[in-house]
Each structure stands twice: as structure tokens, then as C-alpha cells.
Structure 1
Amino acid sequence: MKRAFTFVVMMLVASQVSAQIPSISEKTEGLTKTEGYFDYYFDESKDQIWLEVDKLNTEFLYVNSLTAGIGSNDIGLDRGQLGDTRVVYFERRGPKVLMVQPNYEYRAETDNELEKKSVREAFASSIIAGFEVAAEEDGKVLIDLTSFLLRDAHGVTNTLRRSNQGSYSLDKNRSALYKEGTMNFPQNTEFEATLTFDGSNPGGYVRSVVPTPEAITVRQHHSFIELPDDGYEKRETDPRSGYFGISYQDYGTPIDQDLTKRFIARHRLEKKNPDAEMSEPVEPIVYYLDNGTPEPVRSALLDGARWWNEAFEAAGYKDAFIVKILPEEAHPLDVRYNVIQWIHRSTRGWSYGSSVTDPRTGEIIKGHVSLGSLRVRQDFLIAVGLLAPYGDDELNTTMQEMALARIRQLSAHEVGHTIGIAHNFAASVTGDASVMDYPHPQPKLVNGEIDLSDPYDVGIGEWDKVVVAYGYQDFPEGTDEKEALDEILEEAYDSGLKYISDADARPQSGAHPDAHLWDFGSDPATQLSTILDIRKEALENFGEANLKSGEPMAELEDALVPMYFFHRYQLEGTVKLIGGLDYSYNMKGDNLSAPKIVAKSTQQKALGEMLKAIEPATLAIPENLLELIPPRPSSLGYSRELFNGNAGPAMDALGIAETAADLPVSLILNAERANRLVEYGARDNNLSLETVLDELIDASWNRKSQNGYLGSIQRVVNHVVLKNMIELAADNDANPVTKAITHKKLTDLQSKLSGKKDADSQYAVYTIGRFLTNPEEFEVEDAPAPPPGSPIGSGSMIYCDF
């Protein structure tokens, strides 16, 4: 009886609570309703958005983005930056509505519902947000979305903290909904908010770009997107194909098959007639260029992006890839538009291609390219350094032509990422076979003069056609897709094309002899000499003709820096032949070759090329330039794009030489490379670490001494070699044999120099002794740091660059 009475009381209370919840029409009376994927009401007087949830327990995509950024490449919060993409759904629990993110990293793709349930319960989901039911009507509920929108969804505070730019927190009193960026469409609902972050101790990057550094105001965007229908067909990843993608563990997989499933990321594209060799698509892939992009950059970016249509034509599509100007009324973060944005920053930096991708399938919903606007100016500056164009009254237009040629290629490159394609850093050795490589400018010496008439390759490459065919080819019914895809790749590799991507191309520890960033030419073992010859010619011609009339003479240094370090990327390519390993991402049963150590003769040739870069004549800035360029006036300020040194306001020629010498020597004596030399040297009479160390010592301490300026630079080189040997001996990544060999070479050098009376020999003996006596406490003095490197020049994935 007591239990029955309690039940009646609970029912009465629940009835009263239910009666207190108004209908949606009552709650929103007088408010403007905007219909779309999710209907919403905006209360302008209270700066409040009410969301009508009519799709409980229905999954959709939620994406947060950054509409208006901070403007610093170093901080990394750019205009148009995409954030996370999540599959979520609204779930009602009593008076609450929860936004739930299911865990698609772990699934059971089976018809057995209980098996699916067991996996869902084994791995955590995430509740992104919770809301109170404010009203309900006809199975729909109303929630206040305002606090969800007025939060730091993009992680601005965390990014500022990680980059040591101060301690910031969101100030809601200085934050508001942004009506101009809030809109509704049948398949997507878009919201935007202006957020202000209040902080203390702002860092230098913040101070350089924010008018009041203690108050950083940005805009963040939120997209609710209807999930695509089930008409998209996933395509399996092949490591030889060059695609990004998704992966997850499928616990519904039979025990004799791989638990991890991998699929490429790509746009949906279908032929109207799959049986036809050439067919129009059902729906083309359309990209839109930022309408704020100025000419002549606008036309160059359109041209470069449109190159991809050639690859789709090769795959049998007519007019499948189209590029237009973004309509004025369109929002660049509206998911309906694939967008190429022209991004401004205070310093130059990376461009990159991102995408909104369905985590369930790998289908790309929206491609979004961010192109740094200062890149074009850096290429212009490189051309100025190469050509010395201001010697007469006629302005040489080659600089602009080179800069525009570069950003055509850049546009194609970043768009390539947004259609699913990864870097191919082996393309340069097969005739510039892909725009997904990083291209070095390609000047030539013609009759002793620098020629920039053909600075960059034009158009899509043969590898790009292969990748598009693999990812987007629509096969006739009855085709064995796996067999057809294998055939595409096997034909490509049989023709001599190669594919090697990011980690394998990195200069410090990378080992592949053909995969390089920013390399020049098809033969890294010999091309460094070509680059050094071009660099020598540019430095010999350098002078007042590299500066416009009326500009401060100190600004000559701006153009001199990329010329002096013009060889830095070829060094990174050439060094990878030393201790190099040639390999492919081969599969069982294919025709690709097994891993093979680079031939000893090739390694020795590469080492000889690297040693040319530490010759005093190579490292010396011409003395006429030291006498020509004055210290920088305070009105210009210091830039990280300039030389570092320790000579006060004067240009530090020896410090600059030390920086340049440290580049090749530190690459040669990288610990991972040294470990490979130890191993490979013990196999089949390959180049050994002992030989490499002997060659370095012969090029430095054993080299015949010189007098004067070049003699001083030689002394700098000697100490750079010693420094890097000590660093290798102390490196935790060096294996015991590597350390033992290097230790022995140091003691031998100490013994040899101990009988000499010159200051450098005595200091070297003293330095080696200090290290050997107490290696744990010994600290090597670093060489002056070079200006930032990539992207190409002298200053600085998802996707690229990705």
C-alpha cells in the first residue's frame, strides 16, 4: 500500500513538472524562426539562440572552425581554420538533452545488433554538451544553444598556452553571437560567435598582431550538417596509392582477417555512364576561390587549381573538376562550398589543405584550402636575389612571373590534399611527376648568366593522374575493383613512377635516396654542385642592383639571406644518400623491389658533394658585400628572416659561416644516420661511419691552414666538425657502437692535436678533455641559428604540408 501511494505521488509530481514545460510556440512567441536543417529562433534582445531539436537520436556531423583568426603563423590560429569533425546526436534524458558523440574508432560491422551493442559498451563515448528542455511540442524539444556557441570550442586558450603566449580565459561579457555568420539551409545549419579572450603576460607573437594584447577577439563557427546518404562506396587503402584516409577497428571481422579497416578519403564522384570511356559526372566537384583574392594572384590560383581537371579527364570524366569565384553572399565555412582561402598573416608560413570528412566512411564533405599570402612575396624576393634586376630603369617582370608560377603550383598542391591525396616527395626524381612534391625554384646557368625563364613546372603530373584514377575511377558493373586498382598501380610503378611520403623524406633521419623536400633536379648525388654554382653566380653579382632606388642599403640583407642559404634544401636531399636505403611501400605479390642499401659509390659521391659546402670559399660572404651593407637602422627593426650573429650591429661574417657549416655537418652526423652507417658499413663493404668521420676531419682539422679571411672561416669549420662529433658521441639516440666509434675518433683527434701549439688545436684538446672527463655535464655551444627554413626560402598534417 505504501509503495502504491509513493508511485501515485511520483506520477503527480511528474505531471506537474510536465505541465510546467511550455510548448515551443508559447516559448518562442514573438521570436523570428529560421527554418533549415535544424530550425532555430533568435532572440536579439537577449542575444540568445533557441534550437528546435526535431531529430532526437539521429546522427549528424558537428564541425567547429575559426572564421576570424589572430594572424600569426607561429601561433597557428588562422582565418578559416577547420577544427574537429564529429559524428553526434541529440538524446533526451528526462528534463535534459545530451549531445552524444559515439565512438566510431571501434565498431562491429555486422547484422548482429547484440554484437554491435557489446562493442559500443566496451569503449567510451563522449557527451559533448548538455541542455535543459525549455519547451516541447509534437515530439520536438527546444533548447538554449547560446552557451554552447559562446564557448572556446576551437581551443584558442589551449593553443595560446602551448605556444607560451600568455594565460587567457574567455570573457563572456565581451563575447556575443554573430548574426552575420549564422544561417540555415536544408542540409546544414551554421552558427557563429564573436569571442574575446582576456589575458595576462601576452607573448611576443600576440603583441605583434593584436592591437590590445590583453584582449584577443576572434570568431568561431559551428556547423550542424546532415550526414550523407548511404550511396557512397568506401574504397580500401593501398599504401602504394598515396591517399589519406580513415581507419578503425571492426570487431565484427572474421578471426582470419585484419581487425583494422582502412579506407581512403575522397569526394563522392560518379559517372553518369560508368560503362563509357568518357562520361560527365552525376555531380561535379566544384571549388570556390576566396573572392577577396586580388589580381594577378586570383587568376594564378584559379589556373593552378584547375589543373586537376586534367587528371580527372585522364580517369574518364568530362568537366568533373570545376573552380569558380566564391559568390559574395557565400560564407567560406558553409559546408556546401569547397573553398580556397587566401590567408593573411604577419609572417609567412605554411599553406595547407584540410577537409570535413565523414568519420564513418572517409567521404570528403568539404575541401578547405588555406594559402598563406606572403608566400608569393618570398618567391619574388628569391627572384630579386637571383637576378639583381634593379640595375637600370626597366623593371624586370621575371620576378612576378616566377612568384605567380609558384602559387599556381601551390594552389594545385593544397587542393590535392583536399581531394584526399598525400605528399609524394619522390616525384622530383621522375620528371616532376606530381604537384604533391615540394618544388624548388629551377634557375639555370646559360652562358654564365642565371636564367629564370622556366622557374617551376606547369600542370598536373603523371603520378597525379595515377592517384586520381586510383581514388576516383568509376568502374563498369561486374569489374573486380581490387584487381582493377592493383593494375592501375602496377602499371604506374612499371613505368618508373615512385611514391614516398612525409616521414620518409625528412632530412634529419630520413633514409630514402629519392624522397626529398624542396630538392632540385633528378640526381641528388650531383645536383648540389649545380645549386652551388648558381649560388656562387648570384653572390658574385649581388650588390646595389638587388635594391630599388631610394631604399635603405641595409635592406640588401633581406635578399642576400635566401641567396646565401640557397643550397640548404639540396643539402637535405643529398645527405639522405649517405646511409641511405632505397625501398618502396611494396605488397606481397607485387613487382616492387625489396629494400636495398644505396650503393657505396653513390654514398661516397654524396659525401663529397656535402663536403663542398664546408669549403671556406663556399662559406665566405664576398668581402665587397660586407663593406656594402651597413648595420640596420632602428626604424627597420630586426627580422628573424635575417642572419644571426654575435658581432653587435655589424654583420657577423664568421658567425654566418658557422651557421652555414653547421647545416651540412649536423645532417651528416645525425644519430639515426650514423647508426645506419655503422650497420650498413658492416654489410657488403658499404660506406662506414669511420670513413665518414675521417673525411670530415680531413676536410677540417687536417686541411692545410690558410691565412686571412678564408683562414678564419676554416678555423670556424674545424670547431663546427668537433662540436658535431661531440654531440653525436653524447646523443641518446646513438647506439653504443656509434658512440664507441665517435669516442675513439675524438680521442685520436685529441692525441694528434695535443702536440700543436696554435690556439685552435689547444682549445680543441681542452674541449675534448672536458667532454671525456664529464660527458653528462658537458654542454656544446650551439652555432648561431639559421633563419627559419620551410616553406621554401628562409622563413616557415591532417594535411600539408600539409
Structure 2
Amino acid sequence: MNNKHIKQLSRFVGLAVFCTTAFQSCGVVPAFIWKKKDAQIVAVADSSKDEKGVSYQKLIKDARVDSGMFHVISKKGEYYFEIPRTALDRDFLMIHKISSVPLAINEAGVNKGMNFENKVIRFSLKKEGKEVWVGEIDPKIEVPNKDAIAKSVSDNYRLSYIESFKVESYNSDSTSVVIKVNKVFDGTEKSFADVFSNLGLGTSPKTSLSGIEQIKSFANNVVVRSMYSTKVTEGNESIPISIAVTTNIYALPEQPMVPRFADPRVGFFSTERWYFSDKQQELDKRNLVTRWRLEPKEEDKERYRKGELVEPKKPIVFYLDPATPKQWRKEIIAGVHDWQQAFEAAGFKNAIIAKEVADTTAFDPDDANVSSIVYAASAQANAMGPSVVDPRSGEILEADVIWWHNVMTILNSWMRIQTGVVDTAARGNAFSEEKMAHAIRFVSSHEIGHTLGLMHNMGSSSSFPVDSLRSPSFTDRMGGTATSIMDYARFNYVAQPEDGVKTITPVIGLYDKYAIAWAYRWYDVKTPWEELPTLRKEIEKHQHDPNYWYGEQQDGKNIIDPRSQSEDLGDNAMLAGAYGLRNLKRIMPHIIDWTTSSGEDYYRAGKLYMGVIGQWYTYADHVINNIGGIYLENPVLGDQKDAYRPVDRDKQIEALGYVKEQVYRLPEWLFVPELMTKTFPLRDSPIGSFEYAPYNLQREFQYSLLFSLVKDERLLRMIEMEQLFGRKRAWSAEEFLQSVREEVFASTLKKQSLDLRTRMLQQNYVDVLMVSTNKAMEKINDKKLTEVDLFLQQAHPHICALHGLGDAARQARNVHVGSMARTSDMLMLKRTELLEIYKLLDRARQTGDKATKAHYEDLLMRIAVTLPIAKK
């Protein structure tokens, strides 16, 4: 398999496989659990032929029979489910996970342990007992059975049938029905598992190279492992793909956990639930917190009510994949156990446990009753913590952390760039095992947080004053870089070498303990409505303390609230960026000696150089998002909060000052000839290293930041805030654009000759203004920005960023301002700016040296093409 094949295949594999919604899957009305019986079924005495099918005795003769929820009969490659009548018309959660993959799929980011599809199914006897049909249902509806509307709910939210099976036999007393299931697990039918469509490949299994590998039955589920093979073709090239898939048919809990209603002020994944009733005047739509079922033992409930710590009836247990390298196991487990302190805030001790597997032969990670930390041998640099959820209640039934081997490359890059100047142990191409294990512990805690139901809290870092991150006493007392390990706060890049700060790694913080206590404290209630007043009071206790504030994850390309950004630190992006830049300057002279030994090439130096530039870009991006920013809250009556308020005018002006210093003229210290004669910044690609020529890179990066600076959504938000709050509190788009123009064309106003960098700045700025005023340019502009995105993705990768694509992305706030943008003042202001620039250039066209004059003529022609009126 070569790199070209991998590149081709990667285009087929859709990100849908990663979406959090695939992991927050479905179940519905109360189901049931059967006890595991004997390993072998005892033959019945009556061996007469059943009139409804073949003889049951003949069917099981010489067959292997595994007892459990369904008895599984296997005979000469044929597989049968013996389904008790009591299981018919009950709800099962069908869970599909990847069990093994070939190289090409691995390289595309699909690995063992990943859950690609779940659905709720129901087996029903049809056609006078001659067939079993399987229906699929959407389980989010609930209605009291005695209400009149229940009949209408049943008629309007019925299941849809996806498969049928011939009844092969009944057992001797007709208490169970037997069906042959080969076709839904051997690639013949896609009704149960359509793995290639779900992965975005769009192909079908080749049945001659697909089949069932094993079926096992447990007390409350049946586990089927299948191999599916296909071929992916593009042009004249084809790539064979074989994927092992494990399917669990899982009986949902007989007694659902009492749900807890979600609150947007505390960041948990949730599952949607609709409540119908006769008493309503409006459908009651709710979101249920996804959480584990932690309850005190019956004998401990009174002690729990008195405030004593008790052990839960059933703790959360994770098993560590035996494939995990031994040197990392201790700290991965420690990262899980770090959450004990948070659960103690909820009243439970020993609530979460991680274990090494004592007997690997008994370890079965394919069983949906087993939660595990799966170690994936892959070049993929990531980690994630998905879970499987009962949507009737929000109960997390099972969770798996997927731990990609190459995640350590991200940790090395972050730590070296963000803390290498204050931590000598974080400078080499490889860290000591102790140093890397410490970083791994942080990632372990973060991903386990997701498996507990916690979403990213991107706003937690904004609660720390920037200068406090330079204080040893503050960082030792508060721990880490934010109040939540669920932020993307990363490592402390604010601390300077002279500060003596030692606590530079994110840890579980105040918000995390508060959020776990809010979601997991047990209340002796029968319905979620009963506990709502208590839960709201718990939020009110901290509603004005920034240490407990939750800031939703936002679209990274359309940040609205600058407090909730990825990778930022502290309450002032300009000051944090200034400190970060000091440390980047200190790194630049050491890029080669930190990465390269005698006789080695400069590949690693080019990669580190790329990371430094990516970090510089990130600081500028954080700052720009303050301009036109809106502080977002989720207020309730009586809390004295507003849902919207603009970023202070003075802070927006301060942000533009940073842009003037760092973006209008990219810093010379970032592009030094001594380094660039040895290596350009490098990005890996399927065809080898991609080398970025310095001037071209500066042009592209400056363009990208200027485009963001004056993009439509930012200006539209500024117009909205000016209308609501006036120019004393909100910086107007008109004033902002005037400030940008005066700085970008300052040398032109002085009639000076322009150097290459100033000409580049003016060209880029005129071009980004033209994009909004010329529809034909938008597609070209997208291509310009794509290369920058590719650079940044590798220069500054995100662990578990994929969590933001599903549930988190749907729940994030979005202030909609873009409707009919072409008839707004935003477009008028951009055209006005182009006209003002045209007039300015027209007056200056005969000033400066030859290159400057040619530059002015070029810009005048460009603007004239976009705005023909400018010729007049």
C-alpha cells in the first residue's frame, strides 16, 4: 500500500464516522436482562418434528450451543438465534464497532474500538408465526400509557421494518423461536451493518470474501464478529479493504435510570427526549444529561443523605488494553483515578476505577458490558472518549477511550513549543519516559472526562488573570492552566523563564468537580422534574464566580465569544499573546540544536519551525476574535445577567493594536536567514514533505488573518452591537474599517516609497475587501485559504477535536447574522472602503519609486474591475 493509495482512500472516508452523535446512540422503552444459563443447552426429551418448521432436536443435534440472552446455535457454518417469546417486541440497542482494519483505513484515521453506528431494533413475530421481522425505531418519544394521546403517538411514531427472517423452528414447548441470521452478518444484507457506507466509502461487501467469524452470547447481549471485504476504486486503481466489525445486540436496562435534565450552564453531552401528555398545551422537549448510573447501595442511602462518602452500588470500571506499552500504563490509570476527587464532591468514593487485565484470555473488549482504554497502533495522532448511551434516561452504558499511539507526537510538539524555554526536560525530539508519562496522564484525564459525559469547556481558561499564570503560588494553588481539564488550555506558554513556575500542565479543576457533583449527586426521586429546583440552586451558588463558568465550544472559523477559544490562556488574549511571543523568540535560535544531531538532516528542525509559526498564528487568531466579539451567557430570570454584550470597545481597539504590530508586518525574528538557509517550515503530506517558501508563506498567512479580520460575520456583529449598545460601548464597523485603512495605507498617505512587505500588505487587504463585493472571487478565495488550513492542522493539531463535530457542535450557541448579507450595511461599508482606497491611490499614483507606482496602478485596475463605478 503506497502513499498515493492512502491519499486516495482518505478522500473516501467521511468524518461522519467520528461524530459524537454516532457514540450517543439509541434505545427506547424498558427492556430486560436475562441471566446467563449453562454453557450448553440440555437436549429436550420430545424430539418430534415441530409442525411449524424443522425438528428442533434435529437442528441442535451435533451443534454447538452457547446459552445466554439468546441461545446461539452454530452448525456447519450456519448460525441461529433462539429468541425467547418474552424477548419479542422488546427493544435492543445494536452497537457496531470496528475491531481490526488494514493499513489504508488506519492511515485515514479509522481504528480498532471506534463505534461507527448504533440503532434500536425490535424483533416481532409476523405472518402467523412463520416469520420474524426486525424493526428500527427512533426512541426519543415518551408518553403515559393511560393518556388518550398515547394512541396517536403510537400511530405517528411507529417503527420501520428493516429485515425479515424465516422461522426455522420452535423449541419443544414453543417458548422460543429459532431464526437463521447468517445473511445480516456475512455481507449479504446491509440492513444490520452497512460499514462501508457509514465510513463514507460507498461500496458494498464482496460476499465471497466476507463472513461471520464468531458469535458469543452473554447474559444481556449477543456479540457477533464479522469480516467485511470490499474494493475501493478511483480511476484505474483499486484498493482492497477488509474490516472486522463487532456487533452487539444489547438488552437495555429493565428499569431505566431516572433522567436528569440538562442545563446549558453546565457542559454535558445530552440526548433528546420528547414528552407527550394529555395535560399539555405544548410538546415538552428536553435534553437528558448523559451520565453513568451511580447510586448508593440500599444500606448506605441514609449515610449518603447525611453527607458521608459511600461507595456506589456499581462503580465505573475501565480495563486497560493489554496492548498498551508497559511504561505508560501507570500514568494512564492515574489519569482515570484523578477523577476520584470529583466524584467525592458528588458523595461517592471509589466511584471510578481503572484496571490492568489480569487474564488476557478472559478480556473481551468487544463485549459492550466492558469499558476499556483501547490502544491503537497507528500513525494517527489523536485520542477520544466516546460512549454508548440509553436515550430513555441518558445513562452511559459503556465507554471506550481510543488511544492512538502517535498522540505522543502532539504532546512533544505542544510541550516543546509552549514550555520548552521554562522546562529543560521538554526540548528534545524524545522526552524521558517520566516526562512523557506525565503528559500522557493529562490526556488520559481529559478523555475520561468525555466518557463521563463532559463536553469541552473552552471558556474555563478565561477565568484566570494572565499575570497570575506567571505566579508560582497561584499556579500551585489553582493547578494547571484553567479551571477545567476539559478546556483546550494546554500548557502554560505565558510563564517566563524568570518566573519559576513549575505547575504548567492542565489538571482537573474547580469547574470539573462542580460539574461532576451537579450531574452525579444522587437524589431519591422518581421523576426528573422533582430534582429541578435543587439542581438550579446548585448552579445559582456559583453563577457569578468565573471559576465555575461554562463556555461552549464554538466553530473555530466563526468565534463569537472570545472567552471560549481553543488553545488560549487567561482573560486577555493580547497580553497572553505578548508573553507567548517572548517565549517563541527565545525558541527560534535553538530550533536546530533542539532537533538535530551531527550527521542528521534538518527535517525535524523544519517541523519544529512549522510549529513555532503555527503558534504565532494562533496567538494572532485569538486576538482578532476580540474584534466584533460578543460575550454570550445563558441567563435565567433573576440572575442579573444579559445574554449578549459586546466586547468592550477599548479591548477591541487594543486587539487591533496587536494586529498592527504582528500582522501588518510579520515579525522579522520569525523569518531569519540563518535558519531558512537550512530548512523551510515543513508539513508532511502523502507524497512527502511539503516545504513552504518564506515569502509565499508570509503572504498566505497574512492574507488569511486579514480575511478573518474583516470577514462578513465580524462586521455584521459589530453593526448589531452598535445598534443595541451605541458607540460608547460597541466599536462601530465604520470606525474599525477606517482605523485599518489608515494603518495599512500609512506609508501611502506620507507619499513614501513602499517596500515589498508593505506592498504585500496592501495587496492582501484590497483583495480580502474585494471578495465580499465580487461573488466570482469567493471560490478562488476558498482555495487560497485551504492551504493555510492544512498547514495549521499539522502545525497545531487538536487532541479529540472530533468531539466537536456532533453533539457539541449542535448545542453550541450561534448568533445568526448572515441572512441577506448582500443587502446589509456591511457590504456598503466594504464598498465604501474600496472607493476610499481607490481615491487615495488615485491621488498617490505618481508618488514613490517605480515599483511603488506600478503597485498603485495594479491596485487601481483591480478595484476598477470589481467596482466599475470607481472609474468615474
Three-state SS of the structure 2 residue aligned to 1:66 is: strand
Question: What's the offset of the Cα at 1:667?
Answer: 2.1
Q: 1:103 aligns with which of 105, 114, 138?
A: 138
CA change 1:641–1:405 in 2 (3 A) is farther
Instruction: Decide which of 513, 529, 533 is 2:562's aligned counterpart.
Output: 513
SS in 2 for 1:41: strand
Which of residues 171, 174, 181 is equivalent to 1:145?
181
Q: Matches of 1:592 and 1:680 in 2, distance apart? A: 17
Question: Cα distance 1:663–1:345, how it changes in 2: closer, same or farther (>3 A)?
Answer: farther
How many angstroms does 1:660 deviate by?
A: 2.3
Contact 1:669 1:728 survives alignment (8 Å): no
Q: 1:532 to 1:730 in 2, by over 3 A?
A: farther
State whether structure 2 residue 521 is matched by structure 1 residue 486.
no
Letter in 1 for 2:284: L
Counterpart in the other structure of 2:312: 281
**Aligned pairs for 1:695-714 within 5 A:** 695-703=739-747, 711-714=755-758
| Aligned alpha-carbon RMSD (Å) | 3.3
- Residues 235, 264 of structure 1: 8 Å contact kept: yes
More deviation in 732-741 or 668-677?
732-741
CA distance in structure 2 between the aligned counterparts of 1:681 and 1:340, rounded to whole angstroms: 50
> Structure 2 vs 1, CA of residues 618 and 159 (structure 1 numbering), >3 Å: closer, same or farther?
farther
Q: Is the 8 A contact 1:242 1:499 kept in 2?
A: no
Once the two structures are TM-superposed, the CA of residue 20 in structure 1 deviates from its matched residue by 6.3
1:380–1:662 Cα change, 3 Å: same
User: Identity, % of aligned pairs?
Assistant: 20
2:845 to 753, 756, 762: 756
**Paired residue for 2:220?**
187
1:525–1:609 contact (8 Å) kept in structure 2: yes
Superposed counterparts of 1:416-495, under 5 Å:
416-431=449-464, 432-444=482-494, 446=496, 454-458=503-507, 460-475=508-523, 481-495=531-545
Which residue of the partner structure matches residue 252 of structure 1?
Answer: 277
Q: Distance in 2 between matches of 1:641 and 1:315?
A: 51
| Aligned pair partner of 1:170 in 198, 205, 217 | 205
Contact 1:389-1:545 within 8 A present in 2 as well: no
Could you say if the C-alpha distance between residues 389 and 189 of structure 1 is closer, same or farther in structure 2, counting changes exceeding 3 Å? same
Give the Cα–Cα distance (whole angstroms) in 1 for the partners of residues 339 and 765 of structure 2: 47
- Give the superposition deviation at 1:693: 2.3
Rounded Cα–Cα distance in structure 2 between residues aligned with 1:610 and 1:402: 36
- Describe the shift of the 1:548–1:714 C-alpha distance in structure 2 as closer, same or farther (beyond 3 A): farther
Equivalent pair of 2:494/2:576 in contact (CA under 8 Å): no
- Deviations, residues 502-550 of structure 1 (Å, cap 9, x unaligned): 45x3343222131111112332242121222222222233334422333
Q: 2:351 aligns with which of 308, 320, 323?
A: 320
Contact 2:634/2:643 (8 A) holds in 1: no
1:168 alignment partner, SS class: coil
The aligned amino acid for 1:175 is S
Looking at structure 1, the residues matched to 643 and 424 of structure 2 have their Cα atoms a distance apart, in angstroms, of 55
Does 2:262 correspond to 1:237? yes
Describe the shift of the 1:306–1:571 C-alpha distance in structure 2 as closer, same or farther (beyond 3 A). farther
- Following TM superposition, by how much is the alpha carbon of 1:596 offset from its aligned partner in structure 2, in angstroms? 1.6
Kindly provide the amino acid, as one letter, of the partner of residue 741 in structure 1.
L
Tell whether 2:171 aligns with 1:118.
no
How much does 1:97 deviate? 0.6
1:583 to 627, 632, 635: 632
The reply on whether 1:310 has 2:341 as its aligned counterpart is: yes
Tell whether 2:582 aligns with 1:541.
Answer: no
Q: State the match for 1:356 in structure 2.
A: 388
1:357/1:617 CA distance change after superposition, 3 Å: closer
Q: Residues 135 and 370 from structure 1, CA distance in 2 versus in 1: closer, same or farther, beyond 3 angstroms?
A: same
Q: Displacement, 1:433? A: 0.9
1:726 partner SS = helix
- Please tell me the residue identity of whatever aligns with 1:263: L
Give unmatched runs, 5+ long, in structure 1. 1-16, 208-212, 646-651, 776-802
Give how far 1:190 is off. 0.6
Q: Match of 1:134, SS?
A: strand
Aligned equivalent of 2:81: 51
Partner AA of 2:612 in structure 1: M
Bigger mean CA offset, 71-80 vs 332-341: 71-80
- 1:656 maps to which of 697, 722, 728: 697
| CA deviations over 1:142-165 (Å, ceiling 9, x no partner) | 1111111123555443256x4xx6
Q: Which residue of 2 is the match for residue 563 of structure 1?
A: 612
C-alpha change, 1:388 and 1:447, in structure 2 (3 Å) is closer
How far apart, in 1, do the equivalents of 2:489 and 2:534 lie? Answer: 31
Residue 584 of structure 1 and its aligned partner are, at CA, apart by: 1.3
Tell me whether 250-259 or 466-475 shows the greater mean CA deviation. 250-259
Structural mapping, 1:58-97, within 5 Å? 58-70=90-102, 72=105, 75-94=108-127, 95-97=130-132
CA contact (8 A) 1:34 1:40 kept: yes
> 1:32 pairs with 61, 64, 68, which one?
64
Offset from partner CA, 1:21-42 (integer Å, 9 cap, x none): 1132222321100111111012
| CA distance, structure 1, for counterparts of residue 687 and residue 552 of structure 2 | 26
Paired with 1:774 and 1:407, the residues of 2 have a C-alpha distance of 60
Q: Is the 8 A contact 2:273 2:391 kept in 1?
A: no
Distance 1:699 1:18, change over 3 A: farther
Q: Look up the match of 1:13.
A: none
2:663 corresponds, among 606, 614, 620, to 614
Tell me, in whole angstroms, the C-alpha distance in 1 between the residues paired with 2:50 and 2:217.
30
Structure 2 spans left out of the alignment, 5+ residues: 1-48, 465-481, 779-817, 847-851
CA contact (8 A) 1:32 1:42 kept: yes
Deviations 1:417-461 (A, max 9, x none): 221111211111124111111123223564579x89544223x11
Q: Residue 214 of structure 1: SS of its match in structure 2?
A: strand
Q: Pick the aligned partner of 2:865 from 755, 770, 779.
A: 770
How far apart, CA to CA, are the structure 2 residues paired with 1:690 and 1:631? Answer: 38
Query: 1:147 is aligned with what amino acid?
Result: K
- How far 1:501 sits from its partner (Å)? 4.5
CA displacement at 1:615 relative to structure 2: 4.1
Letter of the 2:673 partner, please give it. Answer: E
* CA shift for structure 1 position 73: 7.3
Taking the aligned partners of 1:176 and 1:280, their CA distance within structure 2 comes to 44
Rounded to whole Å, the distance in 2 between the matches of 1:388 and 1:470 is: 39
1:596 counterpart = 2:645:
yes
**Partners of 2:337 and 2:353 within 8 A in 1:** yes
Which of 186, 196, 213 is equivalent to 1:157? 196
Kept after mapping to 2: 8 A contact 1:581/1:595: yes
Q: CA deviation at 1:399?
A: 7.1
2:763 is equivalent to residue 719 of structure 1: yes
Contact persistence 1:561–1:641 (CA under 8 A): no
Tell me, in whole angstroms, the C-alpha distance in 2 between the residues paired with 1:129 and 1:399. 55
User: Does the CA-based 8 Å contact 1:280-1:317 persist in structure 2?
Assistant: yes
Match of 1:791 in 2: none
CA 1:102 to 1:480, structure 2 compared with 1: closer, same or farther past 3 Å? closer
TM-score normalized by the length of structure 1: 0.83
CA contact (8 A) 2:628 2:652 kept: yes
Aligned-partner residue type, residue 845 of structure 2: K
Letter of the 1:483 counterpart: P
The structure 1 residue matched to 2:404, chosen from 364, 372, 376, is: 372
Q: Residues of 2 paired with 1:389 and 1:590: CA distance? A: 42
